[in-house]
Structure 1
Amino acid sequence: MSEVTLSTPAATPDRARLLWLSLRQQWIFFVIPLLYVATTTWFLRDVPEAKVASVRALVMGMITLTIPAGLVAVFLFRLGQYVLVLKPESPSRQMIADVTGLFRKPAAFIVGLPLLAAMVIFNKGMLELKPMIPYVNPFAWDTTMATLDRSLHGGFDPWVLLQPILGHDYVTFAISVFYNCWFLALFGCFMWFGFATRTSVNRTQFFLAYMLTWWIGGGILAVAFSSAGPVYYGGIGLSPDPFAPLMSYLHDVNTRIPILSLDTQQLLWDGYTGKTAPIGISAFPSMHNASALLFALATWRRCRGLGIAFAVYCGIILVGSVHLGWHYAVDGYAGIALAALCWWLAGYAARWHHARAEAQKLDEGLASL
């Protein structure tokens, strides 16, 4: 009996202390979400149609959608890494060990829960504003964006230049599938970095850059340069519609092979026209392109092969956003440029943040678990 210790009861308050320290140390993740909510409140001050996003619903969305989808994506990332790079004796057994190990190690939850709370506030600001952008500032920039596109591409609409290469049934289908997998990539990166067992400069830089890019691009710039995108060019009353042949092509392919983007585009249009609850239409800048670049930059430092894969994916998203009628090419260029700038700024903030004594104290505590 003299050899028996009471380490289990003692661990509970220690973990609680580390969780509190983690929350205090990661205060930087709450700055941009609070600013996002503040600017959203200001934008919507005179919009009677504005709805308040339920915090409870946002939390449940994280639990029932974001985290499960993220776990699936991380599983696929990791499986690919085992099969193509690490090549353990049994990739399946190693994957099972990884998953069970996650639940045995509390460090991932101590690190991840404060970020989860910050993302709930962030999503509140984003999801309240996005459906209301046309109410705050009606679509007025589509003609300008289309004209700028032609000026930058030799007098041609970019989709016309891409059509000889991409205008084939199975190529269009593949691009549509890749484009729709963007959410899986987003949730996967959220889980991969968010629930790491240690904090790091790269993790902090990724989330700060992601939040900053969305706050500026998906919030402030989206309102200032309110535009619907090529798919809705004729629908919002602009004529002649240079994108009508593109949409006719996509619908024609859809009669033979399902083009997933068309269903999503119809869903957004139904929300805009009042048939269903508004979800949000916004073309400039392209946040799909902006986020795809951030995925590539962040994963490059963790796994060079995965970073290369995401760099290729970033290129697919850029051409796909034009080919599927979602965006003008300048939307993608602006999104990528904004993401690169925010990544650079976030790097300074992340390095400063992790040089503080409190960050080092948290890492020492996590290492002892």
Structure 2
Amino acid sequence: MKANNKGVNTVCLHSGELEDTTFKGAVSPLYMATSYAFDDVDIKRYPRYFNTPNQEALCKKLAALEHAEAALIFGSGMAAISTALMAFLKAGDHIVLQQTMYGGTYHFAVTQLNKYGIEYSFTNGWAVEDFEREIRPNTKVVYLETPSNPLLTITDIKRVAQLAKSKGLISMIDNTFASPINQNPIDFGVDVVLHSATKYMGGHSDICAGVVAASQEHMDQVFQSAICFGGNLSDYTVWLLERSIKTMGIRVKAQNDNALKMATYLESNPEVEKVYYPGLKSHPDYELAQSQMSGFGGMLSFELPHVDISQFFKHLKLIKPVMSLAGVESTVILPVTTSHALMSPEDREKQGIKDSLIRFSLGIEDIEDLVIDIEQAIVQAKTMTIPA
């Protein structure tokens, strides 16, 4: 489905843009006010109510990108996720969470939900049957993440969404790794779509933001929690994010291409034990990914068990060992010490996150240069670890 039958790059550029009626500039004007008139106006505007001109405009673009009726922009991905969860859960309720998921969401569930009398359980896998087994009489929400962070597991979005609807439950998905360029879960029946807009939407490692997109009815419910928790984004950052999204389509396509080439190379490298990327035919859910994704994404993970990873990171010259992901520059992290450090070793083991697992976010550099960087860093790291 296309938003109003427009192509995705056209939506990225033009949906929800503000017209500069004063000077006829080519870009949206920036309105920095935190105080607006309240008398004789149609809308009483206030930043925490998500209705400043720049907020409203960007939310229209985000809704169009996710084929949703409405959207809200937040100060971070976790602000979006936590606000959405608390909008649909109350004391006595239960939520089913996918086993393979972002460490920050896992940490929120295990440290915060019980404080509010909300029960939770994790699936033992990511098949629809795994979700169904965890549903209880008091279950209200089913939460999935596909492709997952950091193992790139693929969940059947349509079947899980159908299961939730058949039980009268709200389905939520973290769509960050795919981005709306590669996957639109609402088309498969999901109720609420979540993003860390810090990632592919921002795309330049200089913006922190989050997104919730859904039907107007569901967004009205999210809004009631949002104005209480106060996780709105500053208008300057809203304006920067709107600017960044204009190039998201072409950026993500380049990252998709690089990731597939890199995954293919890593799979042939004798030092690499395993590669996790849904675009590889060796991936167990390759066909499922093909059926629900228009591109396989710019994220992959790989295991490097016989190389000192700290030395490997130190010898990288182009690829940056830094936190976060999805910028135009290629980056790597070690999930056990960063994104999933808040998980216990036992829970990481259940997910299959090994100490040798490296998460790789492909940027837009020339792939040949990235391959050379990987190869030389492995050689240097192995040289440093050879006993005298």
TM-score with structure 1 setting the length? 0.28
Higher gyration radius (CA) = 1
Specify which structure has the higher proportion of strand.
2
Higher relative contact order (CA 8 A, sep 6+): 1
